[in-house]
A and B are shown apart, each in its own frame.
Chain A
Amino acid sequence: MSGPSGSGTPGDDDTGPVQDAVRRPTLAVWKFASCDGCQLSLLDCEDELLTLAHAVRIANFTEMSRAKVAGPYDVSLVEGSITTPDDALRIREVRANSRLLVTIGACATAGGIQGLRNFAASGAYAGTVYAHPEYINSLDTSTPIAAHVNVDFELHGCPIDRHQLLEVITATLAGRRPVIPGHSVCQECKGRGTVCLLVSGGTACLGPVTRTGCGALCPAVGRGCFGCFGPADTANTSSLAAQLRRQGMARVDVSRLFRTFNAGAPAFLEESVAQGGSLPVASSVSVRPGPPPETP
């Protein structure tokens, strides 16, 4: 324990040898542009948190601790997207200091809701929010971590599921691949016995194309899935979009449905463009062109 006058103050890296009798692996948590919800999922592991803190050495987790241990780190969990020139450099340092880098959440894996700026004219957003956009040093794009550095594993969700997070940490420490399913929410609804909203009630639902992991929460309360976990491994978005159109949904609404927290995930991005949504403006965001617009 270090008192207020002791060591362990921020900025004073403890570069000394690890004191543990058995060397525990080090875990670091890094935040980029995000809401903190995914790292909160780690603190939400109320039953496991103290046990986890014994199994690993939490070496850098600003939201939780003043203490910082210098890298390199065995595992880094990265939350958030890259939206500033400084962060584009910082993520390279994190990568260089991490044996394994795992991204957590829709911001880190797809650019997040703030990725909607990718579709706006350069500088338009800053001018809307700030009186002096010149004070703001921000990129015109919000991009996933994998667009900048090599990522070892991506955990999806807005927010991520804490049980899946524990599986990723456990598997990573055990040196095996995490077992995280890539099938759709649709299959999970069938497993729960939830009546299909799309078929029975004509409710717009992204369940057929969205990755499972949440537990199919929305259909269980009578609400169509809105795609928090991003595209499933084999997402037939055009087939779903066609069905939604047949049910009378306007193209703009279909496009909007695909364009929320995972707007930058390729399958959702392409479908939103195919449904008439604007193309990303910034050159660093690429998209395959969609099929020609339907004639009304």
Chain B
Amino acid sequence: MTHGSNSPRVIGVEGISRVEGEGSLRVEVHDGTVTDVALEIFEPPRYFEALLVGRHFTEAPDITARICGICPVAYQMSACAAMEDACGVTVDEQIGRLRRLLYCGEWIQSHALHIYLLHAPDFLGCADAVELAELDRGVVERGLQIKRTGNMVMETVGGRAVHPVNVRVGGFYAAPEPAAVAALIEPLTRARNAALDTVEWVAGFDFPQVSGDYRFVALRDGDRYAIERGRPASSEGLDVSPAELADLVVEEHVARSTALHARLGGRDPYLTGPLARYALNAGTLSPLAADAAARAGLGAVCTNPFRSIVVRAVELVFACEEALSLAESYTVPPRPSVPVTPRPSSGTGATEAPRGLLFHQYEIDGSGTIRWARIVPPTSQNQLTIEADLRRVAQGALELGDDELQWRCEQSVRNHDPCISCAAHFLDVTVVSS
């Protein structure tokens, strides 16, 4: 490629596809060096933290679910956890198990969507899954079958796949009938087997050789792979409560984004999501998922962001297996919810959304009215790291032509399954070079 020495080479994508929400990407190259990268988020802000003020604390799960149609359960679970923390309530163990089952449904649905419909087409040179289906219809149908199973779990436990209706602060409105949960066992068994095939399929893709120097942050939950609860931990030894993490995370507002950029201790970019969870919690995976990871050659830590699709597939195996186990052992809880009485207080709730750690903080008064809210979605936390990745990936691929480099940059962003709808308070790709 020849470029004038004075005009920069610019790679740009207005409206990155196959991500949730609206963003753009811009990479600027001068004299063979990437000088500037920006993940610009132009998703219109929806002001959730403002509109929650004055609402009743019991409304937070349903209202915050509307932040994201792909991961509404994550919002509902973090909101419930925060309100229960504020009110000093702990739910019964069986309610906790039902929440984990519902959350597994969302992981299965969201991971299958991302692997098959959003991410895999990049590795196979396809514009989308429809084009991929022209190459191999069976493989896309397998992905859709896994996705459908996730939706079935959400419908059975949550009442609806997008914006479930059965979740409340304190638990559920009604516990599902045993027969309805038992009906999940057969499809979950098939989905687990299909997930094992998925690991083998994605492990065979060609991966650009890139390694990130990541500071990982994820929840830890004893000997369980953390999903719906846990203590925030990092690859640098952090071990704190959700409220302490919330104090450590400082968000800054920059001109190019309607998402806030989060830094740990006001200083350090970090990464949440599958790579972080795997690095911190791989020891707690089930034997089947751990074995699938080993056969895929993942090792103890995966620092190649392009291989996040393999980690996501391993998590898919885990989520199917976990859901299967929870469905097989299900008995109707003695009560579907525990009573929650408001008190003047504040609370923090943190859970693992499919794409990373999500925390909510609220202050409520004695009548249960929300006085203040703060919601920190995974993509806000990951945005600086996604930009660092983009710089690294682009710098290592400058020999590519503009179209190929642009595609590689988009793929680099999609590695992290960003949810822009969530982060706006939130994405677009341009590469500039000279």
Contacts and interface: CB of A to CB of B under 8 A. Distances in A.
Interface of A: 1-6, 8-11, 31-41, 43-44, 46-47, 49-50, 53, 58, 61-67, 83-84, 87, 112-114, 116-117, 120, 124-126, 128-132, 135-136, 138, 142, 158-159, 214, 217-218, 220-223, 226, 228, 253, 256, 260-261
A159 B13 contact: no
Given A43-B117, A50-B130, A217 B160 contact: yes
Given A46-B147, A83-B44, A64 B69 contact: no
A11 B22 CA distance: 15
A136 B44 CA distance: 9
Contacts of B168: 223
B69 A36 contact: yes
Contacts of A120: 50-51
Given A37-B163, A132-B255, A63 B49 contact: no
B63 A260 contact: yes
A253 B368 CA distance: 12
Interface residues of B, number: 78
A159 B254 CA distance: 32
Interface centre among A62, A138, A220 (most CB of B within 10 A): A62
Among B17, B49, B145, the most chain A Cβ lie within 10 Å of the Cβ of: B17
Interface string B53-74: 1011001001100111110100
Given A129-B50, A226-B62, A256-B55, A4 B404 contact: yes
A6 B147 CA distance: 30
Contacts of A142: 46
B314 to A, nearest CB: 22
B49 A128 contact: yes
Contacts of B69: 34-40, 159
B404 A5 contact: yes
A120 to B, nearest CB: 7
Q: Is the interface of A mostly helix, strand, loop or mixed?
A: loop
Contact of B128 (A35, A38, A64, A130): A64
A44 B109 CA distance: 9
Contacts of A222: 173-174
Given A129-B49, A256-B55, A218 B159 contact: yes
Interface stretch (B135-143, B300-308, B338-346, B388-396): B135-143
Contact of A221 (B21, B22, B165): B165
B253 A132 contact: yes
Given A36-B69, A223-B166, A114 B125 contact: no
Contact of B47 (A8, A47, A87, A128): A128
Interface of B: 13-22, 43-51, 53, 55-56, 59, 62-63, 66-70, 72, 113, 117, 121, 125-131, 133-135, 137, 140-141, 144-145, 147-148, 151, 159-163, 165-166, 168, 172-174, 252-255, 258, 260, 401, 403-404, 406-408, 410, 421, 425
B161 A113 contact: no
Contacts of B50: 117, 120, 124-126, 128-129
Contacts of A138: 44-45
Given A40-B69, A58-B130, A11 B14 contact: yes
Interface centre among B44, B144, B173, B252 (most CB of A within 10 A): B44
Contacts of B401: 5
Contacts of A223: 165-166, 168, 173-174
A69 to B, nearest CB: 11
A17 B164 CA distance: 43
Could you say which of B18, B403, B425 has the most chain A C-beta atoms within 10 Å of its C-beta? B403
29 contacts: A4-B125, A10-B13, A33-B43, A33-B44, A35-B69, A36-B21, A36-B70, A36-B421, A43-B117, A46-B145, A50-B144, A53-B133, A62-B15, A64-B130, A66-B18, A112-B46, A117-B47, A117-B50, A120-B50, A124-B50, A125-B47, A129-B45, A129-B47, A217-B165, A218-B173, A220-B159, A222-B174, A260-B62, A261-B66
B55 A65 contact: no
A135 B255 contact: yes
